Structure 1
Amino acid sequence: MITLVAQFTMKPGKVALALRRVDAVRAQADQEQPGTLLYLVHRVLDAKGRPTRTLLFYESYRDAAALQAHLDSASWKALEAGWSQCFEGTRAKGVKVTKLDRIGGFVHLQAP
């Protein structure tokens, strides 16, 4: 299993467009990528609890082939092609990706 956290920042005035494009990636991953096991998108909050322009993704893939299928998807390619319209930095320099090694934990699918 491959698990990672990715973080990038939306441009001022482009938040709605960026969120639509990110949602298209999420929808395609959910509907067409069975190897994408977990794909959660969060908006970082500031100290007062207000949403910032920074997005944080928590993703898990069955294996390297599943991650590659995600990166090769039409929706991800469209997001990359329009990167400069929506996001700060370049695709190579504007994204912080951290791969994780799970050592424990759990997920409740419904609140207890």
Structure 2
Amino acid sequence: MTHTLISRWYLKPGREAEARAALSSLAEAVLAEEPGTLAYLVHEPCGASLPAAPAGEVTFYEVYADEAAFSAHVSGPVFTGFLKRHGALFEQNFPPNSGPFMTVSTLKRAAGFVRPGSPDGAG
């Protein structure tokens, strides 16, 4: 059974461009090195959001082959290395230096589809 989640992180003001470049590199490394990661999409708000999205918010939509693949991601060298190199680009948990502040929601699909050949990588 797949393991799906949404996570939200918050870019530090003044570090947005650097963080976006780092996130792009992270997504490329996950694609190249983590075959159990089926989807790894990083989004920023655009247009109208209800309620309005906080400044600097980025949303990750992630799908893993199973919980073991998710565990391999969060404990593996790609993600842990990213945190060591780029964690300071994001708002931090308290106490300081304990890692980026994030919210995480694990999801169970209730309905819907991904159209084969869609721009989000299916098919």
* TM tier relative to shorter chain: 0.7 to 0.9
Backbone CA RMSD of aligned residues: 2.5
Counterpart of 2:11, as a letter, is: M
Alpha-carbon distance in 2 for matches of 1:80, 1:93: 8
Q: What is the rounded CA distance, in whole Å, between the counterparts of 1:21 and 1:69 in structure 2?
A: 20
Percent identity, aligned pairs only?
32
Structure 1 residues 46 and 110 mapped into 2: Cα distance closer, same or farther (>3 Å)? Answer: closer
AA aligned to 2:30 is A
Aligned to 2:102: 95
Distance in 1, Cα, partners of 2:77 & 2:107? 26
* CA distance in 2 between partners of 1:92 and 1:99 (Å): 20
Unpaired runs of at least 5, structure 2: 50-54
In the alignment, what sits opposite 1:69? 72
Higher strand share: 1
| TM-score of the two chains, using structure 1 as the length reference | 0.83
Q: How does 1:1-112 map to 2 (within 5 A)?
A: 1-45=2-46, 47=48, 52-81=55-84, 82-83=86-87, 85-90=88-93, 94-108=101-115, 109-110=117-118
> d(CA) in 2 for partners of 1:72 and 1:87?
19
**How far off its partner does 1:10 sit?**
0.2
Offset of residue 66 of structure 1: 0.6
For 1:104 and 1:47, the matched residues in 2 are separated by 25
- Structure 1, unmatched stretches of 5+, are none
Aligned residue for 2:113, secondary structure, equals coil
